[in-house]
Structure 1
Amino acid sequence: MDDAAFTCISWNVHRCLGNDGRVDPARTVRVLENEVWRPGVDALILQEADEDCPPHGGLMEPSEIARATGLRHAHGAPAHRWADGSHGFLGTVLYLHPAITVTSLALVDLPGRCHRGAVVAELVRGGRRFRIVGTHLSLTQALRLAQLRTISQHIFRKARMPTILVGDLNEWRSWGGMALSARLLGQKFSGPAKATFPIRRPFLPLDRILTCPPARVADTEVLDGPGIRMASDHRPLFGQIDF
């Protein structure tokens, strides 16, 4: 793939709780491998991939995801996870292509009654520096405003570079509202708003892949399949970003 393009998949796996009421991590991995995955994808960003309550234990074994995708788990160091038994930070877990180097990975606590967080990774691929912010935001608009403002303030203190904001943002309005405005975030994030929720007949664009200039979301695609419809309440979102 051209070094000027970057591809990723974002999926809220709903703590591996399928529509049959069973928590089945092995099934989720099978669906990821057989229906979600695409060869050559650079990053996988999962949400609700750890247990909901402390100590937020991991659900899907990173080694199994690595086998299924060829990507490597970005949270190997204990400082890059919520706790020893977690696979990521409050359910957000990042997997990356082996050709991508992680120069910095920060865990950002976000305000709210329910503990939410963001994983902010600064990366290098082919000499090009960029940033991924993976997160799962609140259902409440006022809290989304505070959470995205917290993320933007964290980024503001860092070096300027193309930034990709990925995850279940729980923003149902296609235009993004105040939460995704340049006035709140300090820079304009944009990208297609395609419906990913609920699983069987999506009409809400809760899951997003967004970028700020000079990066641009060239395309996104909502993925579907019989296993996907069983394994989660969200459809996965594939995106291509041009730098």
Structure 2
Amino acid sequence: MQAKQLRCATWNVHRAKGRDGRVDPHRVVDAIDQGLAPLYMDILALQEADGECRPHARIFDMQDIAARTGLEYIHDPAMRWGSDSDGFLGTILFLAPSLPRLHADLIDLPGHCHRGAIAVETRCGNRPVRIVSTHLSLSQPLRIIQMRVIGQYLRRRPQMQTILLGDLNEWRHWGGLMFNRRLVGTALRGPVRPTFPSTRPLLPLDRIMTDAPGEVHQMRAVKTPKIAVASDHLPLEAIVTVP
């Protein structure tokens, strides 16, 4: 049986604050349109896409992003922080129309700075796939605890290939304890590419990983003039094979 491929992208959009200090949501949407939409993505994860403080108010036009990318904005009211938000603590997920939302959960993650994850179970062809998008803490000890919480959630759900993507804030290429199989319960792997800072990327803070060994390919940071100025991170894109 032929393997399926999912083109994934993740971008921390920094609440629309660009490298020049200007807050401009339209500039971010234009950058998505020109730099990411032509990739014909199946999965797009955004972080810092709602306001930082309560009520985590919306910043972007979700329907505009959906129209430009051909993806579906998957957050019904139960998948948002609140009525003023578009996502959960700034994490927002778009999926291709061919990926049905079969089950979805919000995962609260511990820490002084409130963090969370979105988990969506879907089907790629006839193969079940789980997508987890998150934005983890700047603190290494907290990242370890947060990944443990995600691992406990995965343990409670049906077994299937999992794709983890987002701003994981892990600057070390080898990843450390937070990706250890004994901690998470599954071996999440993927190539590493620097994405931060956007003008001269040095640190691989953003990741696309899966627990199907060796199944993340063609990973690259996407850099265009519009993207580089629109946020302090570059988007990361890759192809994930569903074997």
Which TM-score bucket, shorter chain as reference? over 0.9
Which residue identity is paired with 1:53? C
Tell me what 2:108 maps to.
109
Where do 1:3-18 residues align within 5 Å? 4-18=4-18
Which residue identity is paired with 2:114? H
Tell me what 2:240 maps to.
241
Confirm whether residue 24 of structure 1 aligns to residue 18 of structure 2.
Answer: no
Distance 2:38 2:46 in 1: 15
Confirm whether residue 64 of structure 1 aligns to residue 64 of structure 2.
Answer: yes
Partner of 1:38: helix, strand, or coil? helix
Tell me what 1:166 maps to.
165
Where do 1:190-205 residues align within 5 Å? 190-205=189-204
Do 1:49 and 1:91's aligned partners in 2 also have CA atoms closer than 8 Å? yes
Partner of 1:194: helix, strand, or coil? coil
Which residue identity is paired with 1:130? V
Partner of 1:37: helix, strand, or coil? helix
Residue 213 of structure 1, CA deviation = 2.1
| Cα shift readout 1:135-183 (whole Å, capped 9, x = no counterpart) | 0000000000010000010110000000001000000111110011111
TM-score by length of 1: 0.96
Residue 40 of structure 1, CA deviation = 2.5
Do 2:12 and 2:46's aligned partners in 1 also have CA atoms closer than 8 Å? yes
Distance 1:47 1:214 in 2: 26
Distance 1:122 1:101 in 2: 8
Please, which runs of 5 or more residues in structure 2 have no aligned partner?
A: none
Which residue identity is paired with 1:8? C
Which residue identity is paired with 1:190? R
Please, which runs of 5 or more residues in structure 1 have no aligned partner?
A: none
Partner of 1:10: helix, strand, or coil? strand
Divergent runs of 4+, >4 A: none
TM-score by length of 2: 0.96
Do 2:4 and 2:125's aligned partners in 1 also have CA atoms closer than 8 Å? no
Residue 44 of structure 1, CA deviation = 0.5
Where do 1:1-243 residues align within 5 Å? 4-75=4-75, 77-213=76-212, 216-243=215-242
Do 1:197 and 1:235's aligned partners in 2 also have CA atoms closer than 8 Å? yes
Residue 42 of structure 1, CA deviation = 0.3
Do 1:196 and 1:205's aligned partners in 2 also have CA atoms closer than 8 Å? yes
| Cα shift readout 1:68-126 (whole Å, capped 9, x = no counterpart) | 10111010x21110001111100000001111100111010000000000000101132
Do 1:121 and 1:133's aligned partners in 2 also have CA atoms closer than 8 Å? yes
Distance 2:10 2:85 in 1: 19
Distance 1:69 1:55 in 2: 27
Q: What RMSD over aligned residues (CA atoms) do the two structures have, in Å?
A: 1.2
Which residue identity is paired with 1:165? L
Do 1:17 and 1:231's aligned partners in 2 also have CA atoms closer than 8 Å? yes
